[in-house]
């Protein structure tokens, strides 16, 4: 069975964005990009909510082609173009795009079926609404949390719609020079 893995930057107090979706507090640099790039290489599917997918689709297909593209932009753009994309969206479920599947109904059953399909793993990249939807069905197998050294005090929480106590096991942790700590958890 394929794993469903969630990647998120999170504040120390558990928020993934400010009240208006702002993420200007997130610390990223080449060290983090390299760590994430190494981790993502072996994955073949990305899962997004509609809003995040539209942002990604507006940037990544051509980001690596720009004259001053960074190593990260070149590598992630290449990965994005070949990865299968799954988008949770009620408003776009009848859309037809190459290498992209839109799911608007029967989310729980369709994601369970997707997890049974051939492939390596499914990565969720920073899609709060999609993550909240999948948490209510207990479908996320692992969490990669990039804990940023900041307290937001309010905003969009990462863990919403958790329906029952879920024990996790810490698989690894890494502290970056900018103060961010990556913690990799899987279901116990």
Is residue 169 included in any domain, yes or no?
Answer: yes
Domain with 78, as residue range(s), is 3-175
188 domain-assigned: no
Domain assignment present for residue 7? The answer is yes
CATH of the domain at 58: 3.40.430.10
Residue 186 located in a structural domain: no
Stretch 147-167: mean pLDDT:
92
pLDDT for residue 162: 83
Torsion region of 182: left, alpha or beta (phi above 0 gives left; psi -120 to 50 gives alpha): beta
pLDDT at residue number 163: 77
Q: Give the tens place of pLDDT for each residue, 43-62.
A: 999 999 999 999 999 999 99
> Structure tokens of 112?
């369970």
In a domain, 168, yes or no: yes
Residue reference for tokens 């509609």: 50
Nearest to 140 by CA among 152, 131, 150: 131
Percent of the chain with pLDDT over 70: 99
Count how many domains the chain has: 1
Q: How far apart are CA 168 and CA 39, in angstroms?
A: 20
Structural domain includes residue 156: yes
Q: Is residue 43 part of a domain?
A: yes
Strand segments, DSSP code E, in the chain are: 3-11, 15-17, 45-49, 84-88, 100-103, 121-125, 142-148, 156-157, 168-175, 181-187
Does residue 16 lie in a domain region? yes
């Amino acid at each position: 069975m394929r794993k469903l893995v969630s990647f998120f930057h999170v504040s120390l107090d558990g928020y993934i964005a400010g009240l208006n979706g702002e993420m200007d507090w997130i610390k990223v640099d080449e060290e983090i990009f390299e760590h994430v790039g190494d981790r993502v290489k072996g994955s073949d599917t990305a899962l997004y909510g509609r809003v995040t997918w539209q942002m990604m689709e507006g940037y990544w297909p051509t980001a690596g082609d720009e004259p001053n593209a960074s190593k990260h932009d070149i590598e992630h753009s290449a990965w994005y173009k070949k990865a299968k994309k799954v988008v949770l969206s009620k408003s776009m479920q009848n859309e037809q795009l190459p290498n992209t599947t839109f799911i608007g109904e029967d989310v729980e059953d369709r994601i369970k079926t997707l997890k049974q399909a051939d492939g390596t793993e499914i990565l969720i990249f920073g899609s709060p609404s999609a993550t909240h939807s999948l948490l209510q069905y207990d479908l996320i197998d692992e969490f990669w949390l990039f804990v940023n050294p900041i307290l937001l005090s309010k905003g969009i929480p990462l863990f919403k719609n958790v329906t029952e106590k879920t024990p996790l096991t810490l698989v690894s942790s890494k502290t970056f020079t900018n103060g961010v700590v990556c913690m990799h958890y899987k279901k116990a």
